[in-house]
Amino acid sequence: MNVLLSLKVLLKDLRLGPRSPIFLWAIVFPVVGTLLVQLVFGSLFAPKPRLGIVDQGDSAITAGMRDLEGIQLTLVASPGELTELVRDHNLDAGLILPAGFDEQVRSGAQPVLEFYVSGESLASDRLILAVTTLDLVRAVEGSPAPVQVDVVAMGAPLLPMAARLTPMLVLFALLIAGVFVPAFSLVQEREAGTLTAMLVTPVRATDVLAAKAVLGFALALLMALVTLWLNDALGNEPAALLLAVGVGAIMLAEIGLVYGSASPDAKTLFTLMKSLNIILFAPVIFYIFPDWPQWIAQIFPTYWVINPIFEVAIRDASLGDVAGQLTIALILSALLIPVIVVLSRRMQARLAAA
């Protein structure tokens, strides 16, 4: 393999890549996929409970509300403006704290707490705001709670659906960028005759495949990381995450070379993808349905790249926790190399005989 010739082919692919719908879809998918998942299953468009406060005496309750992350707080100038905002459903609830409210609570005077709720607000938002307000009032009073609640978690915690769908989005990003882009690029050049024209120059098939592999690897690595970032799933171990995604990009780019080398035309490539992509995609189903026997997912090769990404990005696993799985993924990737070599030689022989 000639590195300089491979680099020239790679630069040519990068220059012409934006003309390909597959290349563009690989770039757009992380945004579109994340938007759809968060819209249906996540909280992208689910606003926090909105509370307005008219604070006429610099109450500690206002400071406590401001420190809470799960509540959207708005300070309102007057009671009239507050009631109008609540009535028009610009706020889920409103609270009026008169001057000296904290002192009256501490003295045991039991002052009246004016709390307004919007008729269109969610019952869950009303409950959150009401309970939070009562907790802060009790904190101002300084009295202990009448009961002590002992919360005992039973069973393993269940991840939200949006989090369980993250492996699917990441695998799609790897699949489109790492498999589809190099495979379709290789097949299109075969059909257009540009691959044959390159092979009569000093460029060899290995140079072309190396360029396609680097293109698929780089694009898959970038788009998978973008997908994780958009889903707020970068975890706390950046080095482990980068390595896990890198191993996944290597395997998927190699699969793209297998698809592209084995397919003489686009029709054959589509047939191959429809037949085999279910094997590549199958492991993500087990994240959506965690009650299924998880050992079945280990039968599929892409499990060994998507599960380390999931463990590091979602469950904050360390590199040591996923090292064994990444080793298996690298072994599987190494086993694909002789397959690619055989297919590339067969492809070059067919092109020479054509």
Q: Is the pLDDT of residue 303 over 70?
A: yes
More confident residue, 238 or 156: 238
More confident residue, 337 or 347: 337
Least confident of 15-29, 175-189, 256-270: 15-29
Least confident of 46-50, 87-91, 325-329: 46-50
Q: What is the DSSP secondary-structure string of 169-182?
A: HHHHHHIIIIIIHH
Any alpha helices (H) in 235-284, and if so which ranges?
238-262, 266-281
At 58, list the tokens.
């610099």
pLDDT, residue 42, reads: 60
pLDDT, residue 156, reads: 55
Q: For 129-142, write each residue's pLDDT tens digit.
A: 888 888 888 888 77
- Strand 114-117: give its sheet, edge to edge: 72-75, 50-55, 93-97, 114-117
pLDDT, residue 248, reads: 94
More confident residue, 155 or 3: 3
Q: What is the DSSP secondary-structure string of 305-346?
A: HHHHHHHHHTS---HHHHHHHHHHHHHHHHHHHHHHHHHHHH
Which of 53, 99, 101 is CA-nearest to residue 76?
Answer: 53
Which of 339, 333, 348 is CA-nearest to residue 208?
Answer: 348
Q: Which of 28-37, 108-117, 196-205, 216-225 has the highest mean pLDDT?
A: 216-225
Q: Is the pLDDT of residue 243 over 70?
A: yes
C-alpha 95, offset from chain centre = 38
The rounded distance, in Å, linking the Cα atoms of 191 and 81 is 69
- What is the average per-residue pLDDT within 186-209? 81
Q: For 204-227, write each residue's pLDDT tens digit.
A: 878 888 889 999 999 999 999 999
Three-class SS of residue 88? coil
Domain boundaries, the chain: 3-41+160-353, 50-141
Q: Is the pLDDT of residue 149 over 60?
A: no
pLDDT, residue 135, reads: 84
Q: Which of 3-7, 118-122, 198-202, 255-259 has the highest mean pLDDT?
A: 255-259
CATH node for 50-141: 3.40.1710.10
Q: For 59-92, write each residue's pLDDT tens digit.
A: 888 888 888 877 888 999 899 999 999 998 899 9
| Sole residue written with tokens 């540009």 | 194
HSE-CB at 229 with a 13 A cutoff on CA atoms is: 10
